[in-house]
Homo-oligomer: A and B are copies of this chain.
Amino acid sequence: MDPAAYFRRWRRRVTRPRLAVVAALERSAAHLSADEIRRAVRAAGEPAGLTTVYRTLALLERMQLVVRHEFGDGECRYELADGWHKVHHHHLVCSACGTVTEYRAFKEENALVARMQEVLSRKYRFTIRGHQFNFVGLCARCCERSARIHL
């Protein structure tokens, strides 16, 4: 699918910085911070100010093309929404070192999400657009460490 078409559908102008931000997100598999995105955009030969990156991300989020996460490291992290070449996934967050591991949602999880969506939207009159499931804990390395020293 074509990002430019998306911008036009939303009556927004198709600009080089905007396309560069989307391209950077498409290139990366990770959860990028605003500043990381700006660096990626610059590395790709398109100078862009951090302000523009933030404004573009806010727009992309409203267009539901991008999802914002906060994993607890003090900055927001962004990735393309499902369907934009990414398969839906959930996260394992290590609370000690901050590592975020993605895993592809299991069938059971997806079935549950679909059912929850129905129940919750009826019960709370809530229109569900997406969800974020994070399991928080310790990765293998940090777990060993914390067994030795008491955090």
A contact residues vs B (CB 8 Å cutoff): 10, 62, 68, 70, 72, 92, 94-95, 101, 103, 106, 108-109, 112, 115-117, 119-120, 123-140, 143, 150-151
Q: Contact between B151 and A92 (Cβ–Cβ < 8 Å)?
A: no
Q: Contact between A128 and B136 (Cβ–Cβ < 8 Å)?
A: yes
Q: Chain A binding site: helix, strand, loop or mixed by DSSP? A: mixed
A28 and B13 CA atoms in complex are apart in Å by 46
Q: Contact between A106 and B131 (Cβ–Cβ < 8 Å)?
A: no
A139 and B129 CA atoms in complex are apart in Å by 11
Number of copies: 2
Q: Which residues of B lie under 8 Å from residue A103 when comparing CB positions?
A: 120, 123-124
A129's partner among B95, B123, B126, B150 (CB-CB below 8 A) is B95
